[in-house]
Amino acid sequence: MVIEFFEREKPTPPADYFRVDHESLKAWVKDVFISLGCREKDSSVIADVLVSADLMGISSHGVQRVKRYVDGIKAGSVKPKPQIKVVRDSGAIAVVDGDSGLGHPTTSFAAELAMKKAKSYGIGFVAVRNSQHFGIAGYYSLKIAGKGFMGLTLTNSTPLVAYTHTVERYLGTNPIALSVPKREPPPILFDAATSVVPLGKIEIYSKVGKEIPKGWVIAENGELLEGDATVILKKIRGKEAAILPLGGVGELFGGHKGSGLAMLVDIFAGILSGSGWGAHVRYTVSDKPGNVGHAVMAVNIDSFMNRESFLDRIDKYIQEIKSLKKHPKAERIWIPGEKAWLTMQTRLTIGIPIHKNVYNELKDISKDLQIPFTLKVLKEKAY
Amino acid sequence: MVIEFFEREKPTPPADYFRVDHESLKAWVKDVFISLGCREKDSSVIADVLVSADLMGISSHGVQRVKRYVDGIKAGSVKPKPQIKVVRDSGAIAVVDGDSGLGHPTTSFAAELAMKKAKSYGIGFVAVRNSQHFGIAGYYSLKIAGKGFMGLTLTNSTPLVAYTHTVERYLGTNPIALSVPKREPPPILFDAATSVVPLGKIEIYSKVGKEIPKGWVIAENGELLEGDATVILKKIRGKEAAILPLGGVGELFGGHKGSGLAMLVDIFAGILSGSGWGAHVRYTVSDKPGNVGHAVMAVNIDSFMNRESFLDRIDKYIQEIKSLKKHPKAERIWIPGEKAWLTMQTRLTIGIPIHKNVYNELKDISKDLQIPFTLKVLKEKAY
């Protein structure tokens, strides 16, 4: 297989980044959580989710989150050794209680349970309550697609988004992640916040000094903010501004649809699961549990039709989309998940770019926890 | 109960409209389909879906569609007496073949089946293939909520929307309709096209002479069209332009998310069901069957938690949203489904406004089919 080198988030400027071998990064992250009292198995999952995000070019959800999780465990809001329990189990559905542990092991467990149920009943739906941040939603859907099922993962999150016709942070960025198996990689992976952008995007704009366009963020007085990302990020953090739902302000371009989709996620992941919703979902580092809710669905394709027919249909679908008349200014027609997959292939080969500030932060964590800092820095390769 | 008079789509100017009693309208629509050879039961469902759309203020999907359906049956692309069959039945899922009949009776059947499965397995998911246009997606979700379940209805539709970075009509407006029961009416009903607007909105703008804002429609050359709705509508119909996905052009405001959500609907409703997808979904009046695909899901709340707790949580959620800090220019904070419900209460009392052109079209249909034209016109009441 010829690798097409591509990075969704290019390190800019390259001199500010270290290229780190993903295996060494994963091993180190695992050591961090073991040293904090997490089970070895759980630590492996947490490390795999975080490093997968970096491999896929979603650095906002990558190892830069290690500090937040470490701080959460230290603050006592995150339990290092949660007792994950199935609290309801009824045919094709179940409810899992995450006991305030990090969401990664709990949701991996929920995904396994959803697939088991899908095998028996055609579909499996598992809601998760009393959880914490679980990294990228796409990770769990992708694991499900890897086993041949269609996967759908939802989660609510801390309040950042203004419900339509309001101006304060109430809804989470509440992502929806759908995966669909294909004959050849990559599988379809649609993983999107129901807000116009996730917070991570604004953080990246702030880091690289890009201007925020009008239509992403609304101030308390109803003004649409634009310009300096660092200033805007500060206002969001200070609760003087909120991210807009997909579709933007008001109803003219469908802001009520983005708002409604965020509600849909909140209802399935938060309300139906018995977890927190809206502003009741708390940040990882807190004096109380996060109360984050998730939902995972697995669909057994074989129950619906012959698998080969399904794979044929998906292949045709993708071919047709790729053959559509391209926008004159577009470089390429992308299939959901393609950018992440190409970035992953590239970074498996040349390493993950870690910003020097994040690198130093990880180093400090290592020192603080008295574990060896075993990241393997690779030489930057031109491609 | 005091009725708050409200109409989502106000008849403008009122002189161009007849106010018609909904019962007489429903009875007449039923007669139309019986006269065309449809079963009495199926005709009742078709009439109920169409008149419900008018009652809810979604006139694009109301009785103005009667002509299209009549023409479909006459053209032979729509079967008046389809043999609806369950072709796969496996635990919590099923696949239903609609035998190219109108989608309304088939999807009502699918919704019943989904609820039956939800009762046994906690969740029920029914995919429908070889169907035709089914009216408003929200109708089926609302019926499901009326029985105490959460409902989710999806459908694909004829190609009108440009996939991100492309400029031609390929995706349908592929709506998502979620319903959630509440203690007091209205239930939550989120029913939204995954395009920035449905075609019906552009048709209404054309009818009332409103200008289309920049960001709804893209021309073949990549230009964003704005202005005269009649001109733009003609370009869409002539395949010189396409509706943009929710989030608009490109990726800056999340157009790839709207596109991805439309794909999600197409994959569940079209590909997984064994029906048509993308440009393979045909218009109702054609030389071939429409090949429309739907999906209906019912969720048994009792399987997840005590029903009273759930209803408490939903009530709190709504109260919290209603109490958020309102945008200074917004009249009111709306909950999904509230506008439709208020419009319905209003129109159940004062009648449905039918545009004189539509009224005359219905009259012509009556004449053509040699059935009595029994619409009861009410006196316009001020409110």
Residue A10's pLDDT is what?
A: 87
Question: Regarding beta strands B123-131 and B150-155, do their DSSP bridges make them parallel or antiparallel, or are they unpaired?
Answer: unpaired
Beta strands in chain B (DSSP E): 17-20, 85-90, 93-97, 123-131, 150-155, 176-180, 188-192, 211-219, 224-228, 241-243, 292-299, 352-355, 377-378
Task: Give me the helices (H) in B56-130, please.
Answer: 66-75, 103-121
**What is the DSSP code string of A58-85?**
-GGGTGGGHHHHHHHHHHTSSBSS---E
Shortest CA gap B259–chain A (Å): 9
| Chain center to CA of B85 | 23
Round to whole Å and give the CA distance between B350 and B186.
19
Contact A188 B267 (CB under 8 A): yes
CB atoms within 10 A of CB A359: 20
Of B93, B150, B332, the CB nearest to A304: B93
**CB atoms near residue B41 (< 10 Å):** 10
Chain B partners within 8 Å of A217 (Cβ): none
Return residues 37-66 of B near A (CB < 8 Å): none
Kindly give the confidence (pLDDT) of every residue in chain B, 383 residues in length, as a single tens digit, with 9 standing for 90 and above.
566 789 998 898 899 999 999 999 999 999 999 999 999 999 999 999 999 999 999 999 999 999 999 999 999 999 999 999 999 999 999 999 999 999 999 999 999 999 999 999 999 999 999 999 999 999 999 999 999 999 999 999 999 999 999 999 999 999 999 999 999 999 999 999 999 999 999 998 998 889 999 999 999 999 999 999 999 999 999 999 999 999 999 999 999 999 999 999 999 999 999 999 999 999 999 999 999 999 999 999 999 999 999 999 999 999 999 999 999 999 999 999 999 999 999 999 999 999 999 999 999 999 999 999 999 999 866 55
**Fold observed for domain A197-243:** Wheat Germ Agglutinin (Isolectin 2); domain 1 (3.30.60)
The tokens describing A263, both together, are 């509600």
What value, to the nearest 5°, has the Cα angle with vertex A68 and ends A66 and A72? 115
The alpha carbon of A296 is separated from its chain's Cα centroid by a whole number of angstroms, namely 13
Give yes or no for a contact between A160 and A243, defined as CB atoms under 8 angstroms apart.
yes
Specify whether the CB–CB gap between A20 and A352 falls below 8 A: yes
pTM of the model: 0.98
Contact B161, B171 (CB under 8 A): yes
The rounded distance, in Å, linking the Cα atoms of B270 and B154 is: 10
Do the Cβ atoms of A105 and A40 come closer than 8 Å? no
| Residue A265 phi, psi (nearest 5) | -65, -45
State the complex-level ipTM.
Answer: 0.97
- In this structure, the strands spanning B224-228 and B211-219 are antiparallel
Q: Are the beta carbons of B151 and B298 closer than 8 angstroms? A: yes
* Residues in chain B within 8 Å Cβ distance of A272: 150, 299, 301, 304-305, 310
- What is the CATH number assigned to the segment(s) A14-196+244-307+337-378? 3.30.1370.60
Q: How many CB atoms lie within 10 A of CB A71?
A: 16
Q: Which of A180, A175, A355 is nearest to A266 (CA)?
A: A175
The H-or-E segment that residue B46 falls in is helix B40-55
Chain B residues close to A257, C-beta within 8 Å:
192-194, 246
Find out whether A273 and A294 touch, Cβ atoms under 8 Å: yes
Domain chopping of chain A, boundaries? 14-196+244-307+337-378, 197-243
Strand-pair category, B292-299 with B211-219: unpaired
Could you say which residues from 91 to 110 on chain A have a Cβ atom under 8 Å away from some Cβ of chain B? 91-93, 95
